[in-house]
């Protein structure tokens, strides 16, 4: 896979190797080939700043990858990796976001304070304005959220008021057709908790009612048939809750569907 660069981002809330930060290494192993491991620059001062430090470092790594003509495949860590990936692409893109959750809280609406529950709001330009400086945003009408089913109070209402499109496996095609009116290039974000727990438990945030691995593979084929996929992230895997190791081979099976035809071998 010489045309792709795997970028491991082994951080959870800015701390290396903890919880979801333990996920990138087994994902990289299952996918195979070479990968680089991102290092968070600077000292750890607090979680929120550390997360944005990781995001900024990832933006640089993705930008270098694209400049070399390679496809950036990010292995998070946290879903906040999306902010760095989209920034490093340095172009207007649509976003297809697979997740059990909405990730659509702001600092003012969150009941938990969990930064990972704010990432899609951040990506569409809400919250943490100073720390977000220099990061790219995506208009909400260029985002399709797929498989979300586990919401916190006010989050689903916030989504309903936004122009983010929501879809499940059955309605994805129509949502993608709408998105194709706005863009021909997309970034694909896969929080592995979009999978139903019967396929494998991706993390402690897993939720019933998800899509199957086969539905996810078909969904990616639907995306690739309509858009140029210019970057992707597989994220939010905690090997500590997946004792049988069921998630990494599923993640690896998704990779050929994300890559441009020229770099699939
Ligand atoms: Mn999630």
User: For 121-175, how does the pLDDT look when each residue is reduced to its tens digit (9 = 90+)?
Assistant: 999 999 999 999 999 999 999 999 999 999 998 999 999 999 999 999 999 999 9
Q: What is the pLDDT of residues 173-182, one digit of tens each?
A: 999 999 999 9
Name the burial class of residue 191, with classes exposed (0-12), middle (13-18) and buried (19+) by CB atoms within 10 angstroms of its CB.
Answer: buried
Q: With 60 as the cut, is the pLDDT of residue 237 above it?
A: yes
CA gap 163, 176 in Å, rounded: 14
Q: What is the mean pLDDT of residues 37-61?
A: 97
Residue pointed to by tokens 């990061």: 135
Q: With 60 as the cut, is the pLDDT of residue 265 above it?
A: no
Q: What is the pLDDT of residues 84-115, one digit of tens each?
A: 999 999 999 999 999 999 999 999 999 999 99
The pLDDT value given to residue 1: 58
Buried b (16+ CB within 10 A) or exposed e, 197-207: bebbbbbebbb
CA gap 6, 35 in Å, rounded: 5
Residue pointed to by tokens 């990010």: 74
**Does the CA dihedral 219-90-83-56 come out positive or negative?**
positive
Residue 9 Cα, ligand 1 centroid: separation in angstroms?
Answer: 17
Residue 149 Cα, ligand 1 centroid: separation in angstroms?
Answer: 10
Q: What is the mean pLDDT of residues 22-39?
A: 97
Q: What is the pLDDT of residues 220-234, one digit of tens each?
A: 999 999 999 999 999
Residue pointed to by tokens 């586990």: 150
Q: What is the mean pLDDT of residues 32-47?
A: 95
User: Residue 68 maps to which CATH number?
Assistant: 3.40.800.10
Residue numbers of the domain that contains 158:
4-263
Number of domains within the chain = 1
In the numeric block, which tokens belong to residue 215? 């539905």
CA gap 83, 85 in Å, rounded: 6
Query: What DSSP line would sit under 193-204, residue for residue?
Result: GGB-TTT---ST
The pLDDT value given to residue 264: 61
Q: Where does the pLDDT of residue 263 fall: very low under 50, low under 70, confident under 90, or very high at 90 and above? A: confident
Residue 265 Cα, ligand 1 centroid: separation in angstroms?
Answer: 30
Tell me if 45 sits within 8 A of 61, measured CB to CB.
Answer: no
Residue 53 Cα, ligand 1 centroid: separation in angstroms?
Answer: 21
């Amino acid at each position: 896979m010489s045309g792709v660069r795997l970028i491991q981002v082994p951080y959870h809330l800015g701390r290396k190797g903890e919880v979801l930060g333990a996920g990138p290494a087994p994902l990289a192993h299952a996918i195979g080939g070479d990968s680089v491991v991102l290092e968070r620059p600077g000292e750890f001062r607090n979680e929120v700043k550390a997360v944005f430090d990781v995001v900024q470092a990832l933006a640089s790594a993705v930008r270098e990858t694209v400049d070399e003509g390679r496809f950036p495949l990010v292995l998070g860590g946290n879903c906040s990796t999306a902010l760095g990936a989209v920034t490093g692409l340095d172009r207007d893109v649509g976003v297809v976001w697979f997740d059990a959750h909405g990730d659509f809280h702001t600092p003012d609406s969150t009941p938990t304070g969990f930064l990972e529950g704010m990432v899609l709001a951040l990506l569409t330009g809400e919250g943490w304005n100073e720390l977000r400086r220099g990061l790219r945003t995506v208009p909400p009408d260029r985002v399709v959220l797929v498989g979300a089913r586990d919401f916190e109070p006010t989050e689903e209402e916030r989504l309903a008021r936004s122009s983010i499109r929501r879809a499940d496996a059955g309605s994805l095609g129509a949502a993608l057709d709408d998105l194709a009116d706005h863009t021909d290039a997309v970034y694909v974000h896969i929080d592995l908790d979009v999978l139903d727990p019967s396929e494998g438990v991706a993390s402690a945030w897993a939720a019933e009612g998800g899509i199957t691995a086969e539905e996810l593979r078909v969904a990616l084929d639907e995306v690739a048939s309509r858009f140029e996929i210019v970057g992707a992230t597989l994220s939010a895997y905690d090997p500590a809750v997946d004792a049988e190791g069921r998630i990494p081979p599923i993640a690896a099976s998704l990779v050929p569907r994300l890559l441009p035809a020229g770099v699939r071998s």
